[in-house]
């Protein structure tokens, strides 16, 4: 009998960023984990001044595809993004956007 390590079914796909990941990146997505946790654990140096506590907006990402695979935005995240001055219709705080499963998520780091 052979035992194989199960490959993750879904990924967080990071579009190319000139400084952080010039070639783009694809990291395994685990349900119950935030985008920020998944990126940082897989070598994508996402800024996170408040140590992932929803107290700043340095981990802001744009979710280009797969937003239905993420947790909904709560009031605290909404408030932080509204105060950032850089919010658009794709904005999420990576520390608060938790992968729920169901598909791949494509993000852009501004």
**Residue 86, pLDDT score:** 83
- Flag whether 80 is in a domain: yes
**Rounded alpha-carbon distances, angstroms, from residue 63 to 11, 35, 108:** 13, 10, 7
- Flag whether 20 is in a domain: yes
- Flag whether 5 is in a domain: no
pTM for the whole structure = 0.89
Task: State how many domains the chain has.
Answer: 1
Q: Give kind and range of the element (H or E) at residue 108.
A: strand 105-108
In sequence order, the β-bridge partners of residue 63 are 107
Q: Please name the residue ranges forming H helices in 47-109.
A: 75-84
Q: What is the CATH number of the domain that holds 74?
A: 3.10.20.30
6 pLDDT above the threshold of 90: no
- Flag whether 4 is in a domain: no
- Flag whether 3 is in a domain: no
**81 is in which domain, residue-wise?**
11-108
Q: Give kind and range of the element (H or E) at residue 106.
A: strand 105-108
Q: For 33-90, how does the pLDDT look when each residue is reduced to its tens digit (9 = 90+)?
A: 999 999 999 999 998 889 899 999 999 999 999 999 999 999 999 999 998 888 899 9
């Amino acid at each position: 009998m052979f035992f194989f390590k199960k490959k993750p079914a879904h990924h967080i796909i990071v579009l190319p960023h000139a400084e952080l990941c010039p070639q783009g990146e694809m990291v395994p997505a685990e349900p119950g984990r935030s985008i920020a946790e998944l990126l940082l654990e897989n070598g994508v140096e996402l800024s996170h001044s408040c140590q992932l506590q929803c107290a700043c907006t340095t981990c802001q990402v744009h979710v280009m595809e797969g937003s239905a695979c993420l947790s909904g935005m709560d009031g605290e995240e909404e408030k932080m993004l509204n105060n950032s001055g850089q919010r658009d219709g794709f904005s999420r705080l990576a520390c608060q956007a938790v992968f729920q499963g169901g598909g791949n998520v494509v993000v852009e780091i501004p």
